[in-house]
Structure 1
Amino acid sequence: MTANEMPPMATPRVAAGALFLDEEGRVLMVKPSYKDFWDIPGGYVEPGESPRAACVREMEEELGLRTNVGRMLVVDWAPADNEGDKLLFIFDAGTLSRGQEQAIRFLDGELTEWRYVATDALESHGPSRLARRIRAAAVARQTGNTTYAEHGRAL
């Protein structure tokens, strides 16, 4: 079979984000300068880069934090009308110490502020499917599982 005879294949955009929780179980959310809603820290995976490596890189670029990223909590199939097919990964980033919180710096200008948000208030900060994805990640972290989701709905 030649390349011209191959059936079309998905070429999704891939992004990776970090789930940081505080001692009360609230989620670290960031306000991107280019979006009208809050998100978790993270971003798109670059060619040749693994989702986990992208997550580590984004934490340093966006927050100025060198932090280890733990296990994958969620992978979400979440195509978007204006962006096409997407695979979104969330990794466990643990709990920030007070010193790490104080060290957060918005180095690349993509973010304007951060805050902790209770999981039951996520919809007031972003789209419902993002809230579902973050909640699925929080549950996966608590139970020690890994979750597959579609549009933020764990399956």
Structure 2
Amino acid sequence: MTWTEPSIWYANLPAFYAAAAAFITDQDGKVLLVKPTYRDHWSFPGGYVEEGEYPHVACAREIQEELGVVLAVKDLLVVDWAPPAGQRPRSIISFTFDCGIVPDHAGFDIPSQELDDLAFFRPSEAEQRLPENVVPRVRAAMKARVEQSPVYLAGGSDRKNR
């Protein structure tokens, strides 16, 4: 076997994107979604992980940027690996963290340049507003929170069913 220089080895490994999202509910189990100004659909609060940033730190940063509050980023609930799609040329790994149960609107201060709105929705209503590939994360996050065990999805599907 031939030894490969680390710089060459790493340069030839596949690259992917990473994103971190917050799963936040109210006391009635409604799921918090945000409506970004730059998308046609709603999403969980969150965004891309920056270079050298841990996913849980990215989640906390995005909560503060999008909601104007500091919330504890707790357990990892869902990891979802998705292949390249549409305009996105690389795979993405999405980390969804439990960020707790908060009172309705909990003093949120949304930045008008980034978000049009935020609201709590029953899980089925949340699923209707999310992109198709993100919908399975709602039920997976709810299950993971109850069972206190993270769920791994592959392209939005439970890997056990693939």
Distance between the aligned counterparts of 1:109 and 1:62, measured in 2?
10
Q: Which runs of 5+ in 1 are unaligned?
A: none
* Residue in 2 that maps onto 1:69: 73
Over the matched positions of the two proteins, sequence identity in percent amounts to: 35
Counterpart selection for 1:118 from 91, 112, 122:
122
Q: Which runs of 5+ in 2 are unaligned?
A: none
- Structure 1 residue 122: Cα displacement: 2.9
When residues 5 and 68 of structure 1 are mapped into structure 2, their CA distance, relative to the original with a 3 A threshold, is closer
Greater shift after overlay, 115-124 or 141-150?
A: 115-124
- Structure 1 residue 39: Cα displacement: 0.3
1:1-155 equivalent positions in 2, closer than 5 A? 1-2=4-5, 3-4=7-8, 8-81=12-85, 82-83=87-88, 84-98=90-104, 101-107=105-111, 109-155=113-159
- Structure 1 residue 110: Cα displacement: 1.1
Query: TM-score under structure 2 normalisation?
Result: 0.87
- Structure 1 residue 6: Cα displacement: 6.4
Give the greater-gyration-radius structure (CA): 2
**Number of residues of Structure 1 aligned to a counterpart in Structure 2:** 153
State the 4+ residue runs in structure 1 displaced beyond 6 angstroms. Answer: none
Query: TM-score under structure 1 normalisation?
Result: 0.90
Cα RMSD, aligned residues only: 1.7
Distance between the aligned counterparts of 2:10 and 2:128, measured in 1?
44
Does the 8 A contact of 1:61 with 1:108 survive in 2? no
